[in-house]
Amino acid sequence: MSEAVIEKVDNDGVVRLTINRPKALNALNSEVLVALESHLTELEAQTNLRAVLITGAGEKAFVAGADITEMRDKTPEEARAFASQALRTIKRLETLPVPVVALVNGFCLGGGCELALACDWAVASSNAVFGQPEVLLGVIPGFGGTQRLPRRVGPAMAIDLITTGRKIDAVEALRIGLVNRVMPQAELENYVEELTKQLKGNGPQSVRGAKQAVHDGMDQDLDSALALETALFAVCFAGEEQKEGMSAFVEKRKANF
């Protein structure tokens, strides 16, 4: 890999972002956050974007946390600015209009876990380790962990993990709903290939609409959310994608989106 802290590979709209600080276990520092936000800004404007996959370089870590050496001597004001930068970047990842998938290889701790929580789903290698160990350092999660973790695994489990700082393996992460799949690390690349092929075969606008319906509907009451779904469903019939998809089904051929 080059010296860029974020590596980007675009496979016909399925973009893979790799955090590239393997010697520091891909810890999040200001340089990484700024570079990641820059890439995400570009992706927001990419018209052929189908999905974003995010991972860490090497076999030891997805992201082992925020960079402690950078944080150690910060004042409260500097800490607020650092957390604000991280929250802004992670929110940008979360609100991309396409599916965002975390490929978790190894340590996924602190800020790394918070980054994975902002993804639509996560796939973990069998050697992955998860946790929010900030209390062991005399702080609390500051990149969204106290809010996104209970929304993912429930408040009781979230408080358990956050207040004890304990780490869990991939099997327990799967059991509590923190990740969607667990597989040997050697199989992650095969999964990426299969997922990329699958995402390319789906209607891109319908995928975006489906994500919007889920994300926006979660913050509404059920009746309002159902009305949103109906509106987005109807919009599908205004474009060529629906016509091609349904015609292909009737004609027993593969749709060409």
Confidence (pLDDT) at 1:
43
Cβ atoms within 10 Å of 125's Cβ, excluding its own? 22
Q: For 109-136, what is the mean pLDDT? A: 97
**SS3 assignment, position 131:** strand
Which one, of 128, 107, 109, lies nearest residue 181 by Cα? 128
Contact 99, 199 (CB under 8 A): yes
Domain ranges of the chain: 6-199, 203-250
CATH (one of 3.30.70.360, 3.30.70.270, 3.40.50.1220, 3.90.226.10) for 6-199: 3.90.226.10
Q: For 82-102, what is the mean pLDDT? A: 97
Helix %, strand %, coil % of the chain (to 5): 50, 20, 30
pLDDT at 23 over 60: yes
Q: For 74-82, what is the mean pLDDT? A: 97
Confidence (pLDDT) at 2:
52
Q: How far apart are CA 168 and CA 122, in angstroms?
A: 15
pLDDT at 34 over 60: yes
Question: Where does the pLDDT of residue 3 fall: very low under 50, low under 70, confident under 90, or very high at 90 and above?
Answer: confident
Confidence (pLDDT) at 133:
97
- Length of the chain in terms of residues written: 257
Confidence (pLDDT) at 201:
87
Assigned CATH topology for domain 203-250 = Lyase 2-enoyl-coa Hydratase; Chain  A, domain 2 (1.10.12)
Q: For 185-212, what is the mean pLDDT? A: 92
Average pLDDT of the chain, as a whole number? 95
Instruction: Catalogue the active-site residues.
Output: 114, 134
Strand partners, 55: 18
Q: What is the pTM of this model?
A: 0.94
**SS3 assignment, position 114:** helix
